Amino acid sequence: MDMEAAQKKVQELHEKLNRYSYDYYVLDKPSVPDSEYDRLLQELIQLEEEFPGLKTPDSPTQRVGGEILEGFKKVEHKTPMLSLGNAFNEQDLRDFDRRVRQAIGDDFQYVAELKIDGLAVSLRYEDGLFVQGATRGDGTIGEDITENLRTVHSIPLRLKRSESIEVRGEAFMPKRSFERLNESKIEKGEEPFANPRNAAAGSLRQLDPKIAAKRNLDIFVYGIGDLGDTGVQRQSEGLDLLDELGFRTNHERRKCETIDEVIELLHNMQEKRQSLSYEIDGVVIKVDLLEQQEKLGYTAKSPRWAIAYKFPAEEVMTKLIDIQLNVGRTGVITPTAILEPVRVAGTTVQRASLHNEDLIREKDIKIGDYVVVKKAGDIIPEVVNVLEDQRTGDEKDFHMPAECPECESELVRIEGEVALRCINPKCPAQIREGLIHFVSRNAMNIDGLGERVIAQLFKEGLITDVADLYELSKEQLIQLERMGEKSVENLLRAIDRSKENSLEKLLFGIGIRHVGSKAAKTLAQHFETMDRLQNASRDEIIAISEIGNKMADSIVTYFEKPEVMTLIQELKGHGVNMEYKGPKLAAAAESTSYFAGKTVVLTGKLEELTREEAKEQIEALGGKVTGSVSKSTDLVIAGEAAGSKLSKAQELNIEVWNEARLVEELKN
């Protein structure tokens, strides 16, 4: 076959496969057997191998997943992805309706849409071609997960017409896919996912897109991020446009003239919830006309023209068959209820935290009781109450032990605390949990070192403290189960990268009691090096405005321990950074710049600086950068597409600069 014939055949296969895929994944109406689709896809793969120049970004072959990624780049959303205010009962909805009517009168409609339980994402298209997909992140900055989103068949790689548009949607894992995935994980001896939302999020944050491709994810697109010149005037029109462009939208949406119609719909959807093939946790209600949305505006965190009604937590009955004890990284002993498996809010629940002995006494929980279980916030299983009339007399009281279940050291109850605690610094459970904390995202952020890998390394005796992580070799890691050569290389690179972290990451990671991530940064900024902090007196530490007595005592006690001194020396020997890399407080305190002593908020997209660069430079000049606008805010820097924070600043008559003015002042 020559190039011209191959080009014609590839185009024909693109059209067929895209049409069959749209019928199957978007319309839910398969038009050909799976075997025919697979045959045509294989034919296209062979042609692209023979004529590599014919492989394009929108080819159906791109859905199988490409090369393993090194990591996820940060993406700034052109228009912020705001969160919604919540309503938990009928009165909350009526209050929302009253506020809307007070602002825009009685002439409006609502659109009610199902609240899909998944991961919010943005999708960007240029001239009809899918070019970038990102997570919501903090609403302003997300992660680039384009390669993983390409594997979702219901996301069009090319639109039905050549539009440049950014849309928002909810990526999710259908119930059946979730059940199959967990069955597979259990067969392999792996920890199953807690719910489809976690499974979807975990799948889309895989560095290997081929894993995401196997997870059978789906999406419902629910809005347009930047309307541009689309001519759309209503939310409902926007959804119709998304249908026309080839996106999968949820057709359970309804227009409602009154809040009573909305409430009737909620009751109907709550009954229908379990029969759906995907998980929902509520209904989103939006004012339909965009002009009225604009008039209603935004609060600091959410739009005033929309609200998310959360379904009440589903409560079910099951039997509590045992109570097990877990030891945390600080030695706290937490009792956990072991339950007869029961389905709650879409997932199978077998465990629920009982928090502490006082709660067990308060609820009069006995082993063998029948109990009512729900998920707090539809996420965390908890025991609501005991069904005392179901007791037979065979139930047993539970008593907390006098010794640690892991190391058999004596447990103590520290004055003023509810929890029992193991204070043995060599307790294996505490060491293991401490290692998990050290590598976590807010601490040293070592990708690839999850709980399973840490537990495996600890069990094999390869690590006994955090310093051991920096001695791991390729030869040791390659021997472990499910650790291939590529995974080992990526893990060793991640461990090596963590050595360059700023001091506050290390301070939070080593787990000083009472020192959270914010306090760790405060300490790092103030003392600047680990040596200065180690040698600081209690009076020097307590002099810092944000550090209290309890925290200061804990810091001094921690650094007095000989084993801590040894650990710090070992980490230094491995090349772990011991200095603060952010803006220096000394320079900020002496600053005579405009920013000295002022509270500044950054909003919108900046062109010349990244938001982090702007923040660091402002703080280095004595300013304080916060995330929300309030009466205490002195200045707002508004970049392109600034939203609710700019509106709030204007309402409060706060000074507003554009980026050009900011850059000029920073240069001065």
Q: DSSP per residue over 120-157, as a string?
A: EEEEEEETTEEEEEEE-TTSSEEEB-HHHHTT-TTS-S
Instruction: State residue 190's pLDDT score.
Output: 66
> Residues in the chain, how many?
668
pLDDT at 523: 93
Quote the pTM value.
0.52
Question: Domains in the chain, start-ordered, CATH in brackets?
Answer: 3-64 (1.10.287.610), 86-263+272-307 (3.30.470.30), 316-398 (2.40.50.140), 428-498 (1.10.150.20), 503-573 (1.10.150.20), 585-667 (3.40.50.10190)
pLDDT value, residue 533: 95
Looking at the DSSP bridge assignments, the partners of residue 130 are 125
Longest dimension (CA), the chain: 83
Instruction: Give the pLDDT means over successive 10-residue stretches in the chain (668 positions).
Output: 85 86 72 75 84 82 63 82 86 94 95 93 92 87 90 92 91 89 73 78 84 90 81 92 94 94 91 86 94 87 89 85 91 92 81 87 94 73 89 93 91 81 87 92 87 89 93 91 86 94 94 87 90 92 83 92 92 95 61 80 82 79 80 87 79 89 85
Confidence at residue 65, expressed as pLDDT on a 0 to 100 scale:
57
- Long-range contacts at 564-571 (CB < 8 A, ≥ 24 apart): 564/510, 565/534, 567/465, 567/466, 567/467, 567/510, 568/530, 568/534, 570/467, 571/466, 571/467, 571/470, 571/506
Give, rounded to a whole angstrom, the gap between the first and last alpha carbons of the chain: 66
Q: What is the pLDDT of residue 221?
A: 96
Check residue 348 and give its pLDDT: 83
**Catalytic one among 16, 55, 115, 486?**
115
Supply the pLDDT for residue 379.
Answer: 61
Q: Can you give the pLDDT at residue 244?
A: 93
Strand bridging mode 119-126 / 165-172: antiparallel
Q: What is the pLDDT of residue 337?
A: 95
Q: Give the Cβ contact number of residue 410 at 10 Å.
A: 11
Predicted pLDDT of residue 529: 94
Residues facing 347 on adjacent strands? 344
Amino acid at 260: D
Per-residue model confidence (pLDDT) at position 418: 77
Please give the DSSP secondary-structure letter assigned to residue 64: G
Is 486 a catalytic site residue?
A: no
What is the DSSP track for 287-310?
ESBHHHHHHH-B-SSSBTTEEEEE
pLDDT of residue 33: 74
